[in-house]
Amino acid sequence: MIGNRVPRRKTLPGAGPLGRQCRTEMEKGVMERYREHLPLTDKTPIFTLGEGDTPLVESRVIAQMVGCGGLYFKLEGCNPTGSFKDRGMVVAVAKAIEAGGTSIACASTGNTSASAAAYGAYCGLPTTILVPKGNVASGKLAQAIAYGARLVVIDGNFDSALEMVRALTDKHPVVLVNSVNPDRLQGQKTAAFEIIEDLGDTPDYLFIPVGNAGNITAYWMGFTEAATSGLASSRPRMMGFQAEGAAPIVRGKRVDAPETVASAIRVGNPANWQPAVRARDESGGTIDMVSDDEIMDAYTLLARKEGVFCEPSSAASVAGLIKAAKDGLDLESATVVCIITGTGLKDPDSARRLDDVSMEEHPPELAALERALELA
């Protein structure tokens, strides 16, 4: 039954229910809400674009398909720039300002660039973004341009761009805001706190896309901190999924020319490879891979059966869930959360490429419309 679940609330000392404020108040960002759980000091500037507090939506269809006791989608595309990156970016930029930084930079397949550019613009920081040539979705590129970032196109893949920006920030007084920056992961872990608050405890399984592997690392960090402090009774099994054409962790070796329709996880040498492996092993979970066809099938299923429009990389979590269920994973009594990392508006071209798109043209006459709809 949809809508009959009453979330239970747990309380962190001095922070309200897991740091979240009553919705009748003006919403606060992740730094204000979770300040006691973040590396903030009295000198850290506190600001927000409204990141965090994203919905946890109960499945109506896919839960039945996979035989799941309870399935929820964490809609991180509801963050200000349309992806989970904003949670970590606000912390990374605040800490950069605290340290005296006057400029930020990142390499990006798209979502990091949009987030860095937005928070850089808000704080008046010049933002430099290195993007791989031809490998950034149009919606994400448009965001970075609109926010006024300086874009540098690299004739190579994401891994080449990251190597270059790391060298740049090592040599010059520019702050790196990719997920190798530990402040990014600190901010991203707050999504785990929100899931615990909404469910009343941790889920049994967390399915999540894996690209540069920072997000699976951050969620595990958040769940571990909650369990250690007694705010949750357990930790979930972390179920990470890479794209088949960009699956270095699964294959156990770097992929020099990663290729997948899911551009946000088109990474051949994840910066957080080892922390992701630790999250997998410590949780008793897995890191597996799904094909582009499986990703796009899940992408279409989410939109047409659940009303959730995400970018293809986000659908890797649901594709992984469906694959795991087909392989025999028993979810009958399990509570499962799939992380939907970004909105479908990030990559509108993917929707336009669906095979069965119907865009018929008819004259502006009711009779013609009735015939087309087989109502006449």
Across the range 238-261, mean pLDDT stands at 96
| pLDDT band, residue 154 (cuts 50/70/90) | confident
For strands 56-58 and 70-75, give the pairing.
antiparallel
Contact 80, 49 (CB under 8 A): yes
Q: What is the pLDDT of residues 57-109, one digit of tens each?
A: 999 999 999 999 999 999 999 999 999 999 999 999 999 999 999 999 999 87
Give the pLDDT score at 357.
64
Give the pLDDT score at 15.
45
CB atoms within 10 A of CB 209: 33
Give the pLDDT score at 376.
76
Asked whether the predicted pLDDT for residue 131 surpasses 80, the reply is yes
Distance CA 243, CA 265 (A): 7
The CA angle 82-86-91, to the nearest 5 degrees, is 175
Give the pLDDT score at 208.
98
Name residue 202's amino acid: T
The token pair at 47 is 């600001």
Domains in the chain, CATH or no CATH each: 12-79+186-352 (3.40.50.1100), 85-183 (3.40.50.1100)
Token pair 């087309």 is at which residue? 372
Decide which of 235 and 111 is more confident. 235
Q: What contacts 26, CB < 8 A, 6 or more positions away? A: none
- Three-state secondary structure of the chain: CCCCCCCCCCEECCCEECCCCCCCCCCCCHHHHCHHHCCCCCCCCCCCCCCCCCCEEECCCHHHHHCCCEEEEEEHHHCCCCECHHHHHHHHHHHHHHCCCCCEEEECCCHHHHHHHHHHHHHCCCEEEEEECCCCCHHHHHHHHHCCCEEEEECCCHHHHHHHHHHHHHHCCCEECCCCCHHHHHHHCHHHHHHHHHHCCCCCEEEEECCCCHHHHHHHHHHHHHHHCCCCCCCCEEEEEEECCECHHHHCCCCCCCCCCCHHHCCCCCCCHHHHHHHHHHHCCEEEEECHHHHHHHHHHHHHHHCCCECHHHHHHHHHHHHHHHCCCCCCCCEEEEEECEEHHHCHHHHHCCCCCCCCCCCCCHHHHHHHCCCC
When mean pLDDT is compared across 104-108, 153-157, 325-329, 356-360, the lowest value belongs to 356-360
Contact 110, 141 (CB under 8 A): yes
Distance CA 71, CA 29 (A): 26
Strand order of the sheet with strand 104-107?
150-154, 127-132, 104-107, 175-176
Q: What is the pLDDT of residues 166-179, one digit of tens each?
A: 999 999 999 999 98
Instruction: Write the CA distances from 301 to 109, 250, 296, integer angstroms.
Output: 24, 25, 8
